[in-house]
Amino acid sequence: MNIPDQSALRSFAGREALRVEAAMRADLAEALAGCDPLLVEVIDYGLFGGGKRIRPLLAILAARLCGAADPALYTLAGAFEYLHVATLIHDDVIDQARARRGREALCRKYGTAPAILAGDWLHARSLYLVGRCAGSEGLAVFCRATTGMVDGEFLQLRHVADWALTEAEYFAIIERKTALLIASTCEIGAIFAGAAAEQRRALADYGNRLGTAFQVIDDLLDYQGDAGNTGKQVGIDFREGKLTLPLLRALAVADDSERAAIASLFAGDRRVESSLERVCRFIDAHRGFGAARQTAVQLADEAVAALAPFAGREDKESLAMLHALAGYVLARNK
C-alpha cells in the first residue's frame, strides 16, 4: 500500500485523545468518588502516562463512520483504554517488568497488590461502560475479546521455548492476544452507532487485520527497534523463547544445517548477547525481516480493503483516518 500522509492523522488523533482523556477524567470523578486516595492515585498513574489512545480512536472512527454523533461515544472510547491498561498492568506483574511507557512500571512503583487490584478495577469499569453504552450485544462482543485474550496468553505460555512453533500457531496467538480486542473495539463502535450487520462485520474485519499487522510490526521492532524510541529493550522475544514471524520466515527458507545451528542457540542460554546477534544476522541474511514486513503490508492492505462497503459514505474524514491508521501501523517506529 501507499502510506498516506501522517500529519493529518497526527493532529486529528491528538485532538481526539484530549477529548477521550476528558471523558475518562469525568468518568473517574464519578466512579472513584469517596474511594481510597491510593486507589485514585494508582488508577491515575496507570491511565495517564502518555499512551497513544489508539484503541479509543478506533472506536470513535468506527462509530462515526456508521453515523454516530452521541457524545457518550467518548465515554465508551475510554473503556477500551481502561481495558488495555488493565491488561498492561497485569502483564507487567506477570513479567515483573521494571518500566512501561518510559516510566517505572506500576507494579514496581506501588507493589503487586495495588497493581493486581487496580487492573481488576479498570477491568470491571471497562466492562460496565461497554454494557452501559453498547448494550448486552456490545458486552458479549467485548467479553469474547477479553476472555479470548486470556486464552491467547495461555496459548503463548504453552509455546514458550517451543522450537516446533508453526506460522499458523504464531498467528493464532497474536490474533487472540492483540487483534481480537482491536477488532472488538471497532465492532462495538459500530454497535454503538446502531450499524447493520454487514457494517459491523466489515469493521471487525478491519480491526482484526489492523491488529494483526500491528503485532507483526511489534515483533519486528523487538528485533530492529531503537530502544531510545520504543522505550523497550531489543531482543526480548528471542531471550524469552518466543518464535516470531521474522525468525519463522527465515527458518522457512534456510537449509538443514543452518536451521540446526539456530536451533542450538535457541535451546542454549538465550541471554548470551552473541546469540541474539547471530540470530539477527541469520534473519537478515534470509530476508526474514523483509518477509515479515511484507506480510504486515499485506495485512494493512486487507484492513483497508475491508472498509470497501463504506466507500460511498458522506463521512470522508473518518474513512480517511482509518486508512491513515493502517499506514501509521506500518510506519511506526515505537
Q: Is 143 in the site for its own copies (CB under 8 A)?
A: yes
Span of 36-44, 196-204, 255-263, 324-332 interacting with its own copies by CB under 8 A: 36-44
- Cα atoms in the Cβ-side hemisphere of radius 13 Å centred on 67: 9
Contact 170, 145 (CB under 8 A): no
Q: Is 154 in the site for its own copies (CB under 8 A)?
A: yes
Q: Identify the sign of the CA torsion 271, 92, 221, 295.
A: positive
Residue (142 or 266) nearer to its own copies, CB: 142
Q: Is 165 in the site for its own copies (CB under 8 A)?
A: no
Answer for which of 120, 198, 277, 317 binds its own copies (CB under 8 A) is: 120
Q: Is 114 in the site for its own copies (CB under 8 A)?
A: yes
Contact 65, 192 (CB under 8 A): no
Q: Is 39 in the site for its own copies (CB under 8 A)?
A: yes
Residue (134 or 319) nearer to its own copies, CB: 134
3-state SS assignment for residue 161: coil
Span of 145-153, 208-216, 242-250, 285-293 interacting with its own copies by CB under 8 A: 145-153
3-state SS assignment for residue 98: coil
Residue 126 grid coordinates: 471497562
Nearest-angstrom CA–CA distance, 198 and 92? 38
Nearest-angstrom CA–CA distance, 243 and 159? 9
Q: Whole-number minimum distance, CB 291 to its own copies, in Å?
A: 28
Q: Whole-number minimum distance, CB 239 to its own copies, in Å?
A: 17
Q: Whole-number minimum distance, CB 103 to its own copies, in Å?
A: 21
Span of 106-114, 180-188, 199-207, 257-265 interacting with its own copies by CB under 8 A: 106-114
Answer for which of 36, 255, 256, 314 binds its own copies (CB under 8 A) is: 36
Residues 200-239: x where in contact with its own copies by CB under 8 A, - otherwise, as a string:
----------------------------------------
- Ranges assigned E (strand) in the chain: 99-100, 103-104
Checking 134-137 for CB contacts under 8 A at 24+ apart, the result is: 134/76, 134/188, 134/191, 134/192, 135/191, 137/191
Total residues contacting its own copies (rule CB under 8 A)?
A: 39
Which residue in 251, 255, 144, 163 sits closest to 208, CA to CA?
144
Q: Is 146 in the site for its own copies (CB under 8 A)?
A: yes
Q: Is 139 in the site for its own copies (CB under 8 A)?
A: yes
Contact 126, 83 (CB under 8 A): yes
Residues 81-100: x where in contact with its own copies by CB under 8 A, - otherwise, as a string:
---------x--xx------
Nearest-angstrom CA–CA distance, 36 and 234? 38
Residue (14 or 111) nearer to its own copies, CB: 111
Residue 143 sits at the vertex; the CA angle it makes with 220 and 32, to the nearest 5 degrees, is: 95
Residue (83 or 330) nearer to its own copies, CB: 83
Q: Is 38 in the site for its own copies (CB under 8 A)?
A: yes
Task: Say how many C-beta atoms besides its own lie within 10 A of residue 150's C-beta.
Answer: 13
Q: Which residues bind its own copies (CB under 8 A)?
A: 31, 35-36, 38-39, 42, 90, 93-94, 112-114, 116-121, 123-125, 127-128, 131-132, 135-136, 139-140, 143, 146-147, 150-151, 153-155, 157-158
